[in-house]
Copies of this chain bind each other. A is one copy, B any other.
Amino acid sequence: MSEIRVTERTRVKRGRKIASYDRGVVNNVIDESWVCNIGVSVDGEAMVQPSSHWRIGNEIYLHGSVKNGLFQTVMKGQTICITLCILDGLVFSRSAYHHSVNFRSVVIYGKGRLVDDADEKRAALDAMLDKYSPGRSAEVRPPNETEMKVTGVFAFPIEEVSAKVSTGGPNEEPEDMDLDIWAGVKPVTTVVGNLIPD
């Protein structure tokens, strides 16, 4: 897949060694994660809200009530920040200092596009359901006119974006390696269980 063009804002300053601008890495984090965090600026201060998200091609999608204050900011044309993070492990080092976590994170900056074409909007909402369970959109009672009307759908280009990927075991100072202290990684996974029927 294509390499992403780095901008001044997405050039990773801290942790350059774990930075990635690979579209495959970015898409994988977006597709595998269930929650993103949406940041907007209101009167010079940040407001961050967690949200569901999904991806179609090179756009990330959000949805919600059209009355949501956050989406009103998006509709005013503000460049917003969407951040995603998957925790993969707790990393235990022999020293306090080198404890860390393994993770995959993505930061996207972009202006939102209101998806208002009826067919495109319906296809986008179908794609969200199919992320939750493949084929789900074809099984359920489809949205009626009112339900479509109160739901806002917004698409953001996945262009001004950077990722960080931290993997592996602990960093250690050479002189700490002989200490009799347990070290290693406790893997962290997000598990979707079996359906508890309604």
Contacts and interface: CB of A to CB of B under 8 A. Distances in A.
Interface of A: 13-14, 34-35, 37-41, 44-50, 52, 64-65, 67-69, 78-83, 85, 87, 90, 92-97, 99, 101, 103, 105, 107, 109, 125-126, 128-129, 132-133, 136-137, 139-144, 147, 151, 169-170, 172, 176, 179, 181-198
B184 A95 contact: no
A45 B78 contact: yes
A169 B198 CA distance: 6
Best-buried of A13, A81, A129, A197 by chain B (most CB within 10 Å)? A81
Contact of A37 (B37, B87, B97): B37
A66 to B, nearest CB: 11
A37 B83 contact: yes
A186 to B, nearest CB: 5
B87 A181 contact: no
A153 to B, nearest CB: 13
30 contacts: A34-B90, A35-B85, A35-B101, A37-B37, A37-B50, A38-B48, A39-B46, A41-B44, A41-B46, A45-B78, A45-B79, A45-B81, A46-B47, A47-B81, A48-B48, A48-B82, A49-B107, A50-B85, A52-B101, A92-B195, A94-B141, A95-B143, A95-B147, A96-B125, A97-B151, A99-B128, A99-B136, A139-B182, A170-B198, A189-B190
A65 B188 contact: no
A69 to B, nearest CB: 7
A107 B48 contact: yes
A190 B186 CA distance: 12
A34 B188 contact: yes
Contacts of A50: 37, 83, 85, 103, 105
Contacts of A109: 45
